[in-house]
């Protein structure tokens, strides 16, 4: 039976959406409501087989955004359904599921209360996700909604990998541990990798590199997350566009003393003004950095080198944790689109007998096996598709 599943990714100031026919995986329409609650807001709607449509009405809050999205979906000219009740289920991306949610769930009042309780761990994300859920409920009362958590895929990480070396009491009191993020993306590419290679996930030791403006790496064994580079928050791990990733924690107290910085200022520094932007003092976008480096900008070169060094360090660590490697996957904006970065990352892994093919690597934004002949691990590029993953999880949860 075909179900129409709407996927909603509700952020603090934008809502992205896609309407699917499932299980055909067919996208009927997609779009984004941007600058919610900020001047200059707009909704851009891309229906399949019809021209795009832009609505520049004021979007004062998430409720208004969701009602404009439904209006676009049923619009006589730009719509793809006649009535919102043709939509069978809605799947929501929810960032933090804590230790409560280890799989997608059907939303009810208890689930909403738990998402609200977890807001302390994701103050920028979970409240916005909840606003999206509640706005949909208001417009289509009784609609089946699923919550699909960014953290859920990582619930299989064992305690020796998720505990930090601080007093145990902080874990008990505040839930301070590694949770990991980008789970939907890592899970999607892991499944696709197994399909592409015609193997069962249980047969493969994989490392998936989600490299975008936010980046993380996951070690995957038996199709399950064994370890991942993001931690208690999405700040840990790789050097990202504007986030620092791993650093000596003493730097924080040092800066607080020297620069008289508050906790909020440190948060802003490490999340918004660090990473490759901070090192290069130029841009968080790798396209700008590559161009500047080619023009002789040493700091842009350094920023790229630091980024690559950290990725390589994690790949080495995870190959050790997995005790071997069958598949290395590249995904997300940078992983899918930058042959240069992929080539730089894959240098010097002779001990893994991992070699990239320069010709095959010369692709962008499509699935490909880019490993050289003779390379033991396969190296795959797999464009991520979190929306499709959320739609298929929603189908599972709400279809029954
Ligand atoms: P994402 O967050 O997954 O959308 O990835 C966005 C990032 O991918 C951008 O900030 C760029 O750094 C990077 N990116 C996207 N396209 C390219 C490209 N053609 N070459 C290099 N980097 C790219």
Domain extent listing, the chain: 3-149, 199-386
CA distances to 20, 45, 64, 81, 390 from 5, rounded to whole Å, are 5, 17, 21, 12, 9
Distance CA 91, CA 146 (A): 5
Give the position of tokens 């959406």.
17
Q: Is 332 in the pocket of ligand 1 (CB under 6 A)?
A: yes
C-alpha 287 – ligand 1 centre gap (Å): 7
Which structure tokens are listed for 372? Answer: 């050289």
Q: Is 286 in the pocket of ligand 1 (CB under 6 A)?
A: yes
Whole-angstrom Cα Rg for the chain:
21
Q: Do domains 3-149 and 199-386 have the same CATH topology?
A: yes
Tens of pLDDT, residue by residue over 306-358, are 999 999 999 999 999 999 999 999 999 999 999 999 999 999 999 999 999 99
Residues in the chain, pLDDT under 70? 400
C-alpha 212 – ligand 1 centre gap (Å): 6
Quick one: which atom of ligand 1 is closest to the CA of 289? 12
Distance CA 72, CA 139 (A): 14
Quick one: DSSP state of residue 68?
Answer: H
Give the position of tokens 């676009």.
72
**Inter-residue contact 307 to 238 (CB < 8 Å):** yes
Distance CA 378, CA 351 (A): 15
Distance CA 115, CA 170 (A): 21
Residue partners of 198: CB distance under 8 A and separation at least 6: none
**Inter-residue contact 390 to 182 (CB < 8 Å):** no
Which pLDDT score, from 0 to 100, does residue 399 have?
A: 80
User: Kind and range of the H or E element at 15?
Assistant: strand 15-22
Quick one: DSSP state of residue 81?
Answer: -
Which pLDDT score, from 0 to 100, does residue 226 have?
A: 98
* 322 dihedral zone (left: phi>0; alpha: psi -120 to 50; beta): alpha
Which pLDDT score, from 0 to 100, does residue 400 have?
A: 66
Distance CA 88, CA 144 (A): 7
Helix (H, G, I), strand (E, B), or coil: what is residue 29? strand
Angle made by CA atoms 330, 334, 336, in degrees to the nearest 5: 45
Quick one: which atom of ligand 1 is closest to the CA of 341? 21
Q: What global pTM score does this model have?
A: 0.95
Q: Is 338 in the pocket of ligand 1 (CB under 6 A)?
A: yes
Closest C-alpha to 90, from 391, 385, 400: 391
Distance CA 77, CA 73 (A): 10
Choose which residue among 214, 242, 311, 338 to substitute to test ligand 1 binding: the one with the highest number of ligand atoms within 8 A of its C-beta: 338
How many other β-carbons are positioned within 10 Å of the β-carbon of residue 165? 4
Residue partners of 135: CB distance under 8 A and separation at least 6: 62, 63, 65, 66, 67
Q: Which sign does the torsion angle of CA 214, 279, 319, 356 carry?
A: positive
Fold of the CATH domain 3-149: Nucleotidyltransferase; domain 5 (3.30.420)
Which structure tokens are listed for 98? Answer: 């804590």
User: Kind and range of the H or E element at 227?
Assistant: strand 224-228
Helix (H, G, I), strand (E, B), or coil: what is residue 34? strand
Choose which residue among 181, 300, 333 to substitute to test ligand 1 binding: the one with the highest number of ligand atoms within 8 A of its C-beta: 333
Which pLDDT score, from 0 to 100, does residue 122 have?
A: 87
CATH number of the structural domain 199-386: 3.30.420.40
How far is residue 102 CA from its own chain's centroid? 17
Distance CA 256, CA 262 (A): 6
**Inter-residue contact 261 to 254 (CB < 8 Å):** no
Q: Which sign does the torsion angle of CA 27, 25, 13, 130 carry?
A: positive
Q: Is 285 in the pocket of ligand 1 (CB under 6 A)?
A: yes
Q: Is 211 in the pocket of ligand 1 (CB under 6 A)?
A: no
Provide the residue count of the chain.
400
Quick one: DSSP state of residue 57?
Answer: -
Closest C-alpha to 210, from 233, 182, 234: 182
Q: Is 145 in the pocket of ligand 1 (CB under 6 A)?
A: no
């Amino acid at each position: 039976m075909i179900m129409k599943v709407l996927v909603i990714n509700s952020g603090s100031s934008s809502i992205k959406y896609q309407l699917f026919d499932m299980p055909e995986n067919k996208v009927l329409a997609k779009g984004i409501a941007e600058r919610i609650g900020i001047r200059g807001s707009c909704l851009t709607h891309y229906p399949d087989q019809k021209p795009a449509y832009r609505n520049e009405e004021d979007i004062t809050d998430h409720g208004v955004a969701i009602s404009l999205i439904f209006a676009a979906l049923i619009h006589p000219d730009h719509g793809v359904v006649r009535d919102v009740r043709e939509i069978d289920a809605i799947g929501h991306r929810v960032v933090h599921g804590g230790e409560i949610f280890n799989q997608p769930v059907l939303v009810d009042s208890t689930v909403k209360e738990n998402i609200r309780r977890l807001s302390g761990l994701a103050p920028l994300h979970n409240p916005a996700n909840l606003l999206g859920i509640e706005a949909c409920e208001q417009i289509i009362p009784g609609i089946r909604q699923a919550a699909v958590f960014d953290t859920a895929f990582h619930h299989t990480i064992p305690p020796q990998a998720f505990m930090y070396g601080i007093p145990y009491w902080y874990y008990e009191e505040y839930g301070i541990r590694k949770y990991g993020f980008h789970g939907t993306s890592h899970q999607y590419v892991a499944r696709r990798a197994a399909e592409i290679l015609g193997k069962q996930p249980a047969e493969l030791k994989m490392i998936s590199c989600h490299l975008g403006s936010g980046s993380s790496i996951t070690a995957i064994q038996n199709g399950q997350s064994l370890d991942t580079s993001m931690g208690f928050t999405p700040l840990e791990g790789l050097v990202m566009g504007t986030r620092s990733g791993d650093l000596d924690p003493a730097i924080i107290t040092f800066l607080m003393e020297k620069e008289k910085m508050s906790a909020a200022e440190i948060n802003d520094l490490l999340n918004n003004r660090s990473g490759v932007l901070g090192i290069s003092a130029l841009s968080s976008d790798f396209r700008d950095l590559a161009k500047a480096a080619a023009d002789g900008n040493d700091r842009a070169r350094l920023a790229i080198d630091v980024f690559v060094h950290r990725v390589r360090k994690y790949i080495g660590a995870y190959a050790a944790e997995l005790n071997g490697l069958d598949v290395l996957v590249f995904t997300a904006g940078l992983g899918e689109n930058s042959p240069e970065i992929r080539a730089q990352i894959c240098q010097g892994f002779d001990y893994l007998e991992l070699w990239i093919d320069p010709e095959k690597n010369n692709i962008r934004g499509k699935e490909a096996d880019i490993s050289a002949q003779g390379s033991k691990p396969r190296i795959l590029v797999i464009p991520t598709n979190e929306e499709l993953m959320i739609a298929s999880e929603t189908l599972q949860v709400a279809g029954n």
